[in-house]
Amino acid sequence: MLEKSRGARGLPLYSSKDHPHNSHWSFTRLPRRFTNLKNAIAGFVGLFLFIYYIFIPWATGPRLPPLYSEYHIRDLQLPQNNPNLSYPEGKDGRYIWIGNQCDGVGWGNYMQEFMLDAFVAYEAGWTNVFFNYTWNKQGGPYTKYGKGLIPSRIPLSALVQGPLVGDPWAEGDDTPRAVVKEYFDQICPKSETIKINPREVDENQPGNFPASVLVDKWIQKLATVQSRCVEVDKDELQMFSFWTFGKADVLLDVWPRYSRSPIITQFRWSNLIESAFTTNRHLFTEAHTPVYPYETIPGLLALHIRRGDYEDHCQKLATYGSVFNGFNSFPQFEDKFKVPVTDNESFKKNVYLKACFPSIRQIVEKVNQVRRTDEGKGLKDIFIMTNGRTDWVDELKTELRAAGKWGLIASSRDLTLNWEQKYIAQSVDMLIGQRAQVLVGNGFSSLTSNVVMFRMARDVPPNSNRFW
């Protein structure tokens, strides 16, 4: 189900219109003789932004959220943003801009969608066009959220690295590299761009086609296109909606091919996320494992516990009769959720709350149960992935220590993050969860779902993925 971001802990981006470096700044359009000028401009812009965002807010009032400008500049300077390159890139390449990706939802929801969209482009052999994680398409670069501001849009390259954001594919893979939206606008004028309505592919949208069938239908559709430029209509429903990600019988049939694709195998978190992991590693492990590759940290138990407005959300799930998200429902998992068949609404609500919004007592009971399993042997440290209030987290830590001998116990609230990392901190939690020996997550959460996806792709023991 859709999952809201947690205030200043999970987020959004900017378009070329409202960013200080809008589309006419695309450096790839400059002739070679202006290379030195390009570097000088980039240096000047960097200095200006440093002064503007560091010193001006300090002198004039509350500090504004970051806009991740250096990442936007990086995207504009990708070497494949060049029409003179030979096919399958350059002016003769085939480009697909999936303009209807979801917005106004949590990072977990956005992430699962843009990755599967990129898988379609990869399987079809087209150049994928990436944009920004978008909370608010309209208005300026900031959006009011709760009592503060958040970035309206965040460049994907501030969140992830790898082929998803234009880095090279593995050696020998001739799939065209991904490009940024501003370059697509240059290389694909509207007169040469064909719009595809997703209903042409899934006429019953939102339908119940298995994900692999829907992927193949998109590949077949793209094979019939008579233009080198495609835009998936931004005003229509998504290619893969929450109906796809919310049902195991719809989603999991694509897993064998998806999990082996470079969309998954070459995935890597951004330098911002990895550096936050390194800085805070002492909070949850005494092991000195390298940040990459993302190998398991022995002895680490990660708990994903949503609080705040999630209590109301969980009660709505009971009304809908919702099930665990698709990637939280692999048949090998021990913890499965069955929708209670009852007319007793109070009983039904409590079943959902235990799985979705567990109490401290229920959390401690589950932790003790997991520790007695084969997968739980040797667990000694805990990291709590949460948006809970500090006083609630402190109470949980106290109860966990009282119930068993633990070494380190830390939470999301204990992380030391710089100003840019603060607004993408959900991803720091996700990286820690990926590497835990055991994860106990929220089966209804897309954040848990994405962590489980990466863990299963690494062939961790299935029952090291547990749920409340």
Q: Write out the two tokens for 1.
A: 């189900």
408 pLDDT above the threshold of 70: yes
What pLDDT score was predicted for residue 308?
A: 87
Residue 288 resides in a domain: yes
Residue 415 resides in a domain: yes
Q: Are residues 248 and 362 in the same domain?
A: no
Query: pLDDT digits over 69-103, tens only?
Result: 999 999 999 999 999 999 999 999 999 999 988 89
Domain end residue (candidates: 220, 236, 265): 265
Domain count for the chain:
2
- CA torsion 64→134→422→163, rounded to 10°? -130
What pLDDT score was predicted for residue 205?
A: 66
Least confident segment among 98-102, 184-188, 259-263, 325-329: 98-102
What pLDDT score was predicted for residue 44?
A: 63
To which H or E segment does residue 193 belong? Answer: strand 193-196
Q: What is the amino acid identity at position 53?
A: Y
Q: Please report, for the domain that includes residue 456, its CATH number.
A: 3.40.50.11350
Domain end residue (candidates: 210, 232, 265): 265
120 pLDDT above the threshold of 90: yes
State the DSSP string of 33-97. GGHHHHHHHHHHHHHHHHHHHHHHHHHHSSPPPP--HHHHHHHHT-TT--TTSPTTSGGGS-EEE
Q: Are residues 404 and 318 in the same domain?
A: yes
| Segments in 323-404 forming alpha helices (H) | 345-356, 360-371, 390-403
Residue 25, domain extent: 7-265
29 pLDDT above the threshold of 80: no
Q: Is 150 helix (H, G, I), strand (E, B) or coil?
A: strand
Banded model confidence at residue 193, pLDDT cuts 50, 70, 90: very high
To which H or E segment does residue 297 belong? Answer: strand 297-305
Residue 249 resides in a domain: yes
CA–CA distances in Å: residue 33 to residues 29, 36, 38, 40, 413: 12, 8, 9, 13, 50
Q: Are residues 187 and 302 in the same domain?
A: no
Please state, in angstroms and rounded to a whole number, the distance separating the CA atoms of residues 74 and 83. 18
Q: Are residues 232 and 313 in the same domain?
A: no
Banded model confidence at residue 20, pLDDT cuts 50, 70, 90: very low
Q: Tell me 126's DSSP state.
A: P
Domain end residue (candidates: 210, 236, 265): 265
Q: Are residues 82 and 199 in the same domain?
A: yes
Banded model confidence at residue 139, pLDDT cuts 50, 70, 90: confident
235 pLDDT above the threshold of 90: no
Query: pLDDT digits over 427-449, tens only?
Result: 999 999 999 999 999 999 999 99
Q: Are residues 199 and 273 in the same domain?
A: no
Q: Are residues 78 and 175 in the same domain?
A: yes
Q: Are residues 223 and 366 in the same domain?
A: no
To which H or E segment does residue 113 belong? Answer: helix 107-124
Q: Is 249 helix (H, G, I), strand (E, B) or coil?
A: helix
What pLDDT score was predicted for residue 3?
A: 41
| Mean pLDDT score, 13-17 | 30
Q: Are residues 241 and 360 in the same domain?
A: no
Q: Are residues 175 and 315 in the same domain?
A: no
Query: pLDDT digits over 323-369, tens only?
Result: 999 999 999 999 999 999 999 999 999 999 999 999 999 999 999 99
Residue 294 resides in a domain: yes
Among 440, 443, 246, 433, CA closest to 353: 443
Q: Are residues 224 and 341 in the same domain?
A: no
| Mean pLDDT score, 21-45 | 46
Residue 16 resides in a domain: yes
Whole-structure pTM value: 0.86
Residue 16: how many CB atoms within 10 A of its CB? 19
Q: Are residues 205 and 346 in the same domain?
A: no
